[in-house]
Amino acid sequence: QETDQETDQETNQETDQETDQETNQETDQETEGNFTWCFKHWMVPIMEVIAFILQVGALVAIPILLALKQDGYTNSDKNYLTLYILLPVTLSVLSLMWSGWLQKFFVEAGSRRTTVTQEECIARSKAGLISSFCKVLVIPFVAYGYANLLLEIDLQFNSENFRWTGLELSTFLTHVLVSFVAYLFVWMAAALQSWAFFIPLLLSTPISFVWYVGSVENSRVFPFLDGYFVDWNLEFVVLLVASLLWMSQVLAFGYYVFQSSDSVLTNDADLFWTPRYNGVFLEQYMILNRKTPITGYYAEQIDSDPYKVVNIAKDSHIFICSTMYHENEVEMKQMLTSINRVAMPSATESEDNHKYESHIFFDNACSGEQLNQWVMQLLGLLKGTLNIDPERVTKLCTPYGMQLKYKSRGNMPFYVHLKDNSKVKNKKRWSQVMYMNYVLNYRIRYSEIPKDKAFILTTDADIDFNSDSVVALLDILARDPGVGAVCARTHPLGSGPVVWYQTFDYAIGHWFQKAAEHILGCVLCCPGCFSVFRVSAIKKVLDTYSSSVETGFDFLTKDMGEDRWLCTLLIQKGWRLEYSAVSQDSTFCPESFEEFYKQRRRWVPSTIANLAEVISSYHQITSNNNSISILFILYEFLLVFSTLISPATVILIIVTGLTALDEGLSDVAMIVVLCIISVLYGTLCVYATEKTQIDVAKVLTLIFSIIMAVVISGILTDTISSAIEGDPINHVNETSNNFRFPVDISAVYSGVFAATFTIAGILHFNEIFCLFHFIWYLLCLPSGYLFLTIYSACNINNRSWGTREGANPSSGNKSNSWMDYFFGKWHSLRAFFWRCIGRQPRSKDQDLPPPAPTVTEHIVSRLVPEPKLSKDVEDWLNRIECEMYADNFEREGYTELDFIALMKMSDIVAIGVDKRGFQLKLEKEVKKLNTPELVASGVPRDVLTWLDKIKLGQYKDLFKLEGYCTDEDVENLKGLSRAELQSIGITRRAHLNQLLMRLRYLQYPTDIEIQTNKTRMELENAPTLYLSEVAENSEESRQEYDFWLNLAEDKLKPESANLGKVEELKEKLRNLRNLCLLVLLLTNIMWIVFLYTLVFPQLTKYNLPDRAFSLFFLGIFSVIILIQFIAMIFHRFVTLVHLLARTKLKNKRLEANWFRPSDVDTISRAQY
């Protein structure tokens, strides 16, 4: 009672505090609103009237000043007309033509739309170029006519007046250059923040004038100071007029300038009316050209149009959709902590009003109503990460499995969707199909969420990110409605040489490849680990993305590369994809050699297949997508070709380094040897098991890493020696007149290559540490580009996912120790030896003689009762029409469904099920049963209690006879083998399997396992609802039930392996593999032959040494690196602008979106 009272008091206090805060906020908002209304409707009109009076007064004062300065001019009526009338009229006409309402009339041409399409943005740019070109042509003629007709100045080409002095020409060119640079910076400032645009423009004119007035004569800054413009006798009047003009400008725009859009990276079309450059009166022109409320741009539409950029940027609905399978505790905790960062109300201290909701789609997570250990592990982490009590859950049985609903911090909806693989298709792509359809066809359709303000944040289950990274991606989507998706900079996590290799690989992939795609055309892949997709873009491709696999090529593009496939569809529909380096995230990468090779085995073929799809559909893409040109398609073709010839490239690099060390080595012989090794490894990959392929790849990686160390030493030695000797060309005819390179070509290439990566590292100064892993990248070059390419091509027909398939909960990505690996190889070699001499190899249990039976069959029959089928097993056998095998199940001890759930096909055959049809039926039905928990639940109090718990209490007397009865005997159970259990008297197959499985998990549980068991008990106390029953009383639930039922039936229904097209698909994949291997082999052979028969002989004309011939093949890669390097520089500028736009000055402290590793990131690094 006291606890309840304290809880009620705390709840009431929190409620009162929240109510007080809401009341205070509402009062402050009302007060602020009243002040704003009064200021807008009373003070602003008064300031506009005052500004108008000051401007009229200044225009009247200008002719008076010119009249007072009349003594310096000749008496001419035309000059008087110019001085007194034409200049004020010109200023007035300029103000009129630059006024916002007139520009709005010309630009919009009567259209009431406030949004600007991508095509209109491109048209604006083209119109700006055309108008600027016309101005360049027209203005000189207008000036010529003005000078001749009004000023009577002779500007003939041979006259003295036409020829400028050096001072006048330099001043004019300086004005043009500085004005244009200022225009660019003003445009950039407008895209950042309002104050960065308006304050410099408002202050530049008075500061320049004060500087001019205060300058001394003959100043280099103002060369025409001595009475050229101003009569210093009228200095007071000039200052007064200038002040009047400036004050009118401040009063006219002082309020409106800060009411403009302050969204980050606003599009040019939403910033300015016309994209023209004007060097005359630059400040005034830019202020008037800016879209502000004074032009009516924001006065009416800004509050009513929810699709304006400023509203999308600050008021969006983001669905965080994550796919999960068999991640470990650290990975799950990292993702949940990241979600918690965006769920907290104080995640962003800006005016953004983003709404988040999280959905986790868990593959193979439940069987019926029983949840597996990975789900329990996830739910056990909710309390510590999201402050969610697992028991405060809504459990729903759905057509796809189960759904768990929670509320996290900040009242963010948190859903866990548990897929039952017997009801819906497994694997990641179908999980994506589920959440995309769920968001589009249910959440948005039956809610008040505008489609154009809804976004999907896709994440992996081990991702680490923060709210700033999400908002940075939304900036780009809000800026350009033609952008369909944006990806971030991903950092790999982990430790070990394999991770070091990937650290550099990820770095150059983002520094060069992603940046080049962003600048040159369009990013081709926004990975599902961390990217934001526009819901309206997904809607156009979802039906195609949900299509089934028909051919082998479909399998590569759709199932092996689902992220690239989705992005390819978006590109074909005309959407632009971008990359933001301001947004950062981290994810765990493979730490073992096996997992790395299996992961890249999926990535490499799927990447090539999707690039081939893009290239083959170039006509459709270039027609629909304005971001992609034929030149970009050619660039991607160059990338595909360079990937195909990467094995030949590695071979030639090795030959180059070895011949540099010893010129006596035959390069042709070495090429032949390396080609033979490559072909032999490819043959092995075709016929051997995947484990054997990877084991051989490990050995080859070690050997070729040593060779690469020798190669690097040879190239460096050759480069240094040629530089020191000063005669880079050693094998030339001194009498030859042919052209000679001044330095060694290998030295040039090595220097440029090193400088390129060094500059890239400097430009990415917070990631420069990645360059330290370059040495690992070079050493593993043969493994990554020779053997991995061959391995990937040979395993195209491998349909397994490869990673996380055998993972255990609560364990990291650690591979087996080297001792386990060594002893495993020893047993394999020993078994091979026994087979060679014609004897059967002995198993581990056969190394020692089996123990003699200690219990006779008579004692067993007396102490152990005969097993009897439970009611559940009888009903199960009757339901699947296998009741004729009831005696078989009973005889072998399969009397409980928990025992049957562990059965394999070998067990089904062993109990006497001899008919193939019943074997397949039983195997299929067994997979549908709830698998018993395989986690450590703690060390039992004694052996007898433990036997009762695992439903084998009938053997307690036998264990007593063997001396296993007290609590001290529990640890002695751990080492029991199958033979020893049989000697005790346990002979039934089901009981042996159950005991061996339980003995394996007989150990002290970890903290997470304790929490998992606690979570399971809490979850069991929560009631289970059925969506079909809830739908009868709730319209919303009925809509959801109908949605899931239709989706599961139309798109997600699992296909039978026997009735489906699995065998046909396997045959198609084998044919595709053979074709790819043939293309890979012929392409590399022809490339080597081409270089040695056609290219290298031609290079001898330039007296290049033999050792430089092998470097010519790097020409293609040099072109690619050069293109990517130039694009990277442009992208760094774009990143700088974005970073400055997201930088805010608060409380005298500069806050920027720098990437800071989280606490869980530090913990995970320490644990790994």
DSSP per position, 321-346: EEEESS--HHHHHHHHHHHHHHHSTT
Q: Given this model, what pLDDT does residue 161 score?
A: 53
Distance from C-alpha of 992 to C-alpha of 977, rounded to nearest angstrom? 10
Q: Are strands 370-371 and 355-362 parallel, antiparallel or unpaired?
A: unpaired
Nearest CA to 1047 out of 440, 537, 336, 493 is that of 440
* Percentage of residues of the chain with pLDDT beyond 90: 24
Each residue of 865-905: pLDDT tens digit?
A: 778 888 888 888 888 888 888 888 888 888 888 888 888 88
Nearest CA to 780 out of 595, 921, 593 is that of 593
Q: Give yes or no for a contact between 1056 and 924, defined as CB atoms under 8 angstroms apart.
A: no
* Percentage of residues of the chain with pLDDT beyond 70: 69
- Tell me the C-alpha to C-alpha distance, in Å, between residue 440 and each of 133, 445, 575, 920: 47, 7, 18, 39
Q: Give yes or no for a contact between 628 and 521, defined as CB atoms under 8 angstroms apart.
A: yes
pLDDT-based confidence at 473, cuts 50/70/90? Answer: very high
Q: Given this model, what pLDDT does residue 835 score?
A: 53
Q: Give yes or no for a contact between 135 and 176, defined as CB atoms under 8 angstroms apart.
A: no
Q: Give yes or no for a contact between 196 and 296, defined as CB atoms under 8 angstroms apart.
A: no
Nearest CA to 278 out of 181, 183, 146 is that of 183
Average pLDDT, the chain: 76
Tokens encoding 728:
């880079």
Judging by beta carbons within 10 Å of its beta carbon (0-12, 13-18, 19+), is residue 878 exposed, middle or buried?
Answer: exposed
- Tell me the C-alpha to C-alpha distance, in Å, between residue 674 and each of 121, 435, 650, 703, 1088: 54, 48, 10, 12, 12
Stronger pLDDT, 598 or 315, i.e. the higher one: 598
839 pLDDT more than 80: no
Each residue of 90-131: pLDDT tens digit?
A: 888 888 888 777 777 766 654 444 445 555 556 666 777 777
Each residue of 966-1024: pLDDT tens digit?
A: 777 777 777 788 888 888 888 888 888 888 888 877 776 677 777 777 787 778 788 88
Rounded to an integer, the average pLDDT of 402-423 is 88
460 pLDDT more than 80: yes
Stronger pLDDT, 399 or 1140, i.e. the higher one: 399
Tokens encoding 375:
């789900």
Q: Is the pTM of this model over 0.85?
A: no
DSSP state of 1093: I
Rounded to an integer, the average pLDDT of 282-307 is 59
19 pLDDT more than 70: no
Distance from C-alpha of 647 to C-alpha of 1081, rounded to nearest angstrom? 9
Stronger pLDDT, 1067 or 632, i.e. the higher one: 632
Q: Given this model, what pLDDT does residue 157 score?
A: 54
Q: Given this model, what pLDDT does residue 348 score?
A: 42
Q: Given this model, what pLDDT does residue 833 score?
A: 56
Stronger pLDDT, 330 or 227, i.e. the higher one: 330
Stronger pLDDT, 676 or 296, i.e. the higher one: 676
Distance from C-alpha of 997 to C-alpha of 1012, rounded to nearest angstrom? 19
pLDDT-based confidence at 838, cuts 50/70/90? Answer: low
Distance from C-alpha of 602 to C-alpha of 788, rounded to nearest angstrom? 11
Q: Given this model, what pLDDT does residue 113 score?
A: 47
Stronger pLDDT, 92 or 845, i.e. the higher one: 92
Q: Is the dihedral of CA 824, 826, 830, 835 positive or negative?
A: positive
Instruction: Point out the least confidently predicted range of 483-487, 489-493, 598-602, 741-745.
Output: 741-745
Q: How far apart are the first and last CA of the chain?
A: 46
Name all contacts of 697-705 with Cβ < 8 Å and 24+ positions apart: 697/593, 697/597, 697/783, 697/787, 697/788, 697/791, 698/593, 700/782, 700/783, 700/787, 701/593, 701/780, 701/782, 701/783, 701/787, 704/654, 704/782, 704/783, 704/786, 704/787, 705/779, 705/780, 705/782, 705/783
490 pLDDT more than 80: yes
Stronger pLDDT, 51 or 837, i.e. the higher one: 51
Q: Is the dihedral of CA 427, 431, 437, 438 positive or negative?
A: positive
Q: Give yes or no for a contact between 1036 and 442, defined as CB atoms under 8 angstroms apart.
A: no
- Token match 């509203």: residue? 311
506 pLDDT more than 90: yes
Contacts of 599 (CB under 8 A, 6+ apart): 590, 802, 803
Distance from C-alpha of 882 to C-alpha of 414, rounded to nearest angstrom? 43
pLDDT-based confidence at 857, cuts 50/70/90? Answer: low
412 pLDDT more than 60: yes
Stronger pLDDT, 534 or 80, i.e. the higher one: 534
Tell me which range, 711-720, 840-849, 948-957, is most confidently predicted by mean pLDDT.
948-957
